[in-house]
Structure 1
């Protein structure tokens, strides 16, 4: 009578192969999810910037308080609560020339950095001391 089955060595080889594949795939998947979750901030930032341009057309200045644009709070927490969006003057430029929207990443999304959009068309992602383009 011949017994059929897997040996311990065969099982250990299979476990090792699965472990190697998982150690590569899981971090890549996590990065992909974080990148795709940027849409949670990009869409509302575009809407806020449109409201800023309408506000500028009427008042010849931009607003740092989102309440001035019709929102219920001074900052906006995105729908999935991955970002908090606020408005501020661009660097050394006055509000009559430029406004900058900053989406501050929350919780695990913080590993992807903060998103910045300004009225001059700049779109950046800041992570630590480094600055990257949106992609």
Structure 2
């Protein structure tokens, strides 16, 4: 009788991830998320504020053009321009303290902008170019 050894098929390579590899990956994703989400939120807040400031400057330019035509400022925004969507969903913009020689443009945050932008809060701009805030930050960092 011929005794031949049983031949085993070659071992298959193991596929997939071990539990340790999976847990390390989850931990890395968690750390990156903890850093990225607050940074992104602050970026969005600054972008929204910048859009409101740009609109306020555009309104100020329109007020000066209106002054040249009518010899007075107007408190009616619709005489000047309409609010852009990216501003109106985060700020309520109004013109107040209007006299023949003065006005104040105010951008009051709403919704998430109000809740998350406590540093700057309400933005103001006068006919003299004076900028203001209602938050606990500084005018130079908010403008």
Q: C-alpha distance in 1, partners of 2:94/2:126?
A: 12
| Equivalent residue in structure 2 for 1:78, among 73, 84, 105 | 84
Question: Helix, strand or coil: the match of 2:107?
Answer: strand
How far residue 50 of structure 1 moved from its aligned partner, in angstroms, is: 1.4
| Equivalent residue in structure 2 for 1:36, among 19, 38, 47 | 47
Using structure 2 for the length normalisation, give the TM-score: 0.68
Question: Helix, strand or coil: the match of 1:95?
Answer: coil
Taking only aligned residues, the RMSD between alpha carbons, in angstroms, comes to 2.7
Question: Helix, strand or coil: the match of 1:13?
Answer: helix
Using structure 1 for the length normalisation, give the TM-score: 0.72
| Equivalent residue in structure 2 for 1:115, among 101, 109, 123 | 123
Higher strand share: 1
The CA deviation string for residues 17-70 of structure 1, in whole angstroms up to 9 with x for no partner, is 110111110110111122112343223222211122233345554333324x34
Question: Helix, strand or coil: the match of 1:38?
Answer: helix
Q: C-alpha distance in 2, partners of 1:39/1:78?
A: 13
Could you tell me which residue of structure 1 aligns to residue 6 of structure 2?
Answer: none
The CA deviation string for residues 115-134 of structure 1, in whole angstroms up to 9 with x for no partner, is 2211111234433x544333
Q: 1:78/1:131 Cα in 2 relative to 1: closer, same or farther (>3 Å)?
A: farther
Could you tell me which residue of structure 1 aligns to residue 73 of structure 2?
Answer: 62
Q: Name the larger-Rg structure.
A: 2
In structure 2, stretches of 5+ residues that fail to align are: 1-10
Answering whether residue 65 of structure 2 is matched by residue 98 of structure 1, we say no
In structure 1, stretches of 5+ residues that fail to align are: none
Q: C-alpha distance in 2, partners of 1:85/1:45?
A: 8
Q: C-alpha distance in 1, partners of 2:99/2:51?
A: 26
Q: 1:131/1:117 Cα in 2 relative to 1: closer, same or farther (>3 Å)?
A: same
